[in-house]
Amino acid sequence: MKIINPATGNIIEEISEDTIKTLADKLNLLKTGQQSWKVKTVEERLDKIEKFGEIIQGDVEELALILSTETGKPIQQARNEIKGAHNRIDHLMLNAPKWLAHEKVIQEGNTLESIEYEPLGVIANISAWNYPYNVGYNVFLYALTAGNGVLYKPSEYSSLTGKAITKRLYQAGIPENIFQCSIGGREVGQLILEMDFDGYFFTGSYSTGKYIAREVAHKLVPVQLELGGKDPLYVMEDVPDIKKAAINAAEGSFYNAGQSCCAIERIYVSEKIYESFLQYFIEEVSTYRLGDPTDENTFIGPLTRPQQLTALSDQVKDAQSKGASIALGGHPLKNSGNYFEPTIVVNTNHSMKIMKDESFGPIIGIQKVSSDEEAIELMLDTDYGLTSAVFGSDEERVDIILKAMNSGTVYWNCCDRVSPNIPWSGRKNSGLGSTLSTQGIRAFVQPKSYQMRP
């Protein structure tokens, strides 16, 4: 498999893909290894995960360069991701022993009722490229902590990062018969679906997620899906500082070139501040430096996948043909590499793809609204349900809107952020199940109820 640098189109490296035989060997190895991993204490497992975290932090520069070169993520953002993902490890260290402890529920007469949280067994983690540390840790570190063996398939667009993570897990003392990495794209993913895993944990697009859920349904094993979004932001007229709101909204829309599952994908602005907000927003986005992702000053790198250039151009053309105008950008760059100009589309409406389909790129639609009711109606007009954000001052008004949202996460005066303390989950086409928090670890265990009469 050729690993292509999205900034140049050059081949970085050629690596071997897994085959049905290598995958079967890996699964057999994991099935044996998991028997000894599951009987270790949570603290023993966490010791190794803590060591892994230290090794990763020591290697940040080397790992950030790998991530930046193979996905096009600007180097500063690559560093931020790797350093930031460490909060999952801190959170696990602090909480996992109590989350996984044998839970005494009640003693009634001479009957003691309690719960043991047993691991699922050997799980498959089919993952995405846009935040391989964050979304990877959310699954494989929690699964390992709970006593499972893991077959981890990084995306074909972040395979070198997947291999680098695997090497460091081994260095930290995670046995090879507990964690295996598989290399390849859709075909390798398909083979994994056909094998005998005890759970499927997927991060990626809605279409692949739906396919996976259908393919493995007959196995009756847990399936978890972290999928895409079309996340709305509503900017009310009473934001304390319109310029600051515009700067925050721009960052939420364009960070990682908009390739974040919880990026702001559409913005509704009160008509009372629309012109002023738009002016600040355009000013801010105009300062974003687009270029070589390994350059310290770059804010927008190339898109990871070349095919997304066509998808974004299509959204722009579709919007223009239905009456929208382009306030900034609008085109792919003509030089080599998968570059698309930071693009702001205005006068949008919900007949346009840019307001309905996931864009996953440096492009945003902005629409004027005249009331909270109109904003709520438009925010809810989506097939997705990952996050929804409101910027404003009046807590009561904000609260009504956040309660009305049908999404896994709601934000007030912030956006595009994930915390290990609370569940991360999508509704509707954004997914099934939760990662992070106590709920995130429960995804990797099965309860065994004890009814004991000593």
User: Residue 135, interface with ligand NAD (CB under 6 A)?
Assistant: yes
Q: Cα dihedral angle (363, 238, 368, 228), rounded to 10 degrees? A: 40
Closest C-alpha to 237, from 265, 207, 211, 276:
276
* String of contacts with ligand NAD for each residue 70-109, x by CB under 6 A: ----------------------------------------
Residue 416's CB: how many other CB atoms inside 10 A? 22
Residue 431 CB, nearest distance to ligand NAD (Å)? 6
Residue 155 CB, nearest distance to ligand NAD (Å)? 4
Cα–Cα dist 174/48, whole Å: 6
* String of contacts with ligand NAD for each residue 340-369, x by CB under 6 A: ------------------x-x---------
Q: Considering only residues 390-429, where is the footprint of ligand NAD by CB under 6 A?
A: 426
User: Residue 185, interface with ligand NAD (CB under 6 A)?
Assistant: yes
Q: Among residues 7 and 327, whose Cβ is nearest to ligand NAD?
A: 7
CA of 186: how far to CAs of 41, 211, 220, in Å? 36, 12, 22
User: Residue 130, interface with ligand NAD (CB under 6 A)?
Assistant: yes
Q: Among residues 73 and 368, whose Cβ is nearest to ligand NAD?
A: 73
Residues 6+ apart with CB under 8 A from 89: 49, 50, 52, 53, 137, 141
Closest C-alpha to 65, from 159, 161, 172:
161
Structure tokens at 409: 């996460």
User: Residue 433, interface with ligand NAD (CB under 6 A)?
Assistant: no
Q: Are 273 and 239 in contact (CB under 8 A)?
A: yes
Closest C-alpha to 265, from 416, 371, 90:
416
Q: Among residues 228 and 392, whose Cβ is nearest to ligand NAD?
A: 228
Residue 216 CB, nearest distance to ligand NAD (Å)? 10
Q: Are 397 and 242 in contact (CB under 8 A)?
A: no
In the set 60, 112, 172, 193, which binds ligand NAD (CB under 6 A)?
193
User: Residue 128, interface with ligand NAD (CB under 6 A)?
Assistant: yes
Binding site for ligand NAD (CB under 6 A): 126-131, 135, 153, 155-156, 185-186, 189-190, 193, 203-205, 208, 211-212, 226-229, 261, 358, 360, 386, 426, 431
